[in-house]
Structure formats: structure tokens, C-alpha cells
Amino acid sequence: MRRRPASGFTLVEVLVALFVMAVLSGLAWQGVDSMLRTRESTQVAIERTSRLNTVLAQWEQDLAALHESGVVPTLQFDGRSLRMTRGTDTGVQIVVWAVQDDAWWRWASPSATQAEELQQQWLAGQQLLANTPGQLRLIDGATGWQLYFYRGNAWSNAQSSGELSSRAAGQPQVQPLEALPSGVRMVIDLPGGTLTRDLLVPTQSR
């Protein structure tokens, strides 16, 4: 009686199958790794956008709450820092926005109810350091910014002089007070590009 040949895979066939499986596994891992990297990049971008939107909302709130005290300037820009006075439920506070040390910062003083106290806080806002209590590091990678004020139907450098304010509280002043502009334009260099933001200055306090 004739015997049937034994069935099964030859060594060559097994090696070819293992090679094909290794190639497919490598391709699958590259696909999974690419998906994970894309997801991580997307999440970082979403978090960065969310943080920027929160910072810009605070920027708008500060400008919307500007308060002319008649004691210290309401808005003053020195090329690095913007100091402003804003009204709160318990008085008036000094807020400073600054671009320094490769970051965008914000500092807010306690609310003041006396002219002398407000003047002291204004002077303190001119001497801020990175470790000053109350100063927040908002966004990393900010390399510079410029502000423009809308005066006389035109945008001008915020560091140029404007008209003197007619509002005064009869208190000793840190320096001559300029009238508020009608608008503020911010141009800031952030990671990913330059951001430009135009905002109207409220007129109810003038």
C-alpha cells in the first residue's frame, strides 16, 4: 500500500511567514505611534488655544474696567509694561501687563481706597520682578509687543504724548495725567505668530 507524503510547512515557508508578520507588525506600530503623536500635538494645541483665550478675556476685562482716579495715570506704556488703573467692588487697583523674560505676565495690586495708597501701588508696579507676589506668568514664548492708542482719528504709538486729562481729583499727582484714548491696539509676538487685538476704551468714566 502506497504511503501519503507528510503534510506541513517547510522551513522556508515558516521563515517567509515570520518575515511577513514582522513587516506587518512594524507598519502597524508606526501607524499607532503616528496616531499617538498626532493626538498629543492636537491636545497641546487645544490647551494652548484655551489658555490664550482665557488670557485675552482677562485683557478685555481689565480694559473694560478702566477707572480715571485723577491721582495716577489711567493707562501708561513704557515699551515693556502697560500699567493701568481699574475699578473694583472695593476700590481701585493697579494692574500691570508686561512682556519680559520670554513670557507674558500680569500683576494686580490689592484694591486701594486712599489716594496715597494708590500712588504707592502705582510706584510698586514700576519695580516688578519675576518673583513679585501676585505676578502671574501667563504665556511662555512671548518675545515682544507694541501698543498703539487711537487718538484724534488715528493710531499712534502708545509711548507718544497725548492730550492732558481735564479730570482731576485735587490730589497730588505722580505725574501729569493724559486723557484716555478711544481705543487700544495690541501687537504681541507669541509662539506660532504675531497676534493683533483692537479694543474700544469705554467712555462711561470720562
Contact 108, 93 (CB under 8 A): yes
For residue range 16-56, list pLDDT tens digits in order. Answer: 777 778 777 777 777 766 676 776 766 666 788 889 999 99
Query: What mean pLDDT is reported for the chain?
Result: 83
The DSSP H or E segment spanning 98 is strand 91-100
Confidence class for position 199, pLDDT limits 50, 70, 90: very high
| pLDDT at 204 > cutoff 60 | no
**Does residue 201 carry a pLDDT above 80?**
yes
Task: Tell me, letter by letter, the H, E, C secondary structure of 167-191.
Answer: CCCCCCCCCCCECCCCEEEEEEEEC
pTM score of the predicted model: 0.74
Q: Pick the residue with more confidence: 196 or 166?
A: 196
- Domain spans in the chain, listed from the N-terminal domain onward: 49-200
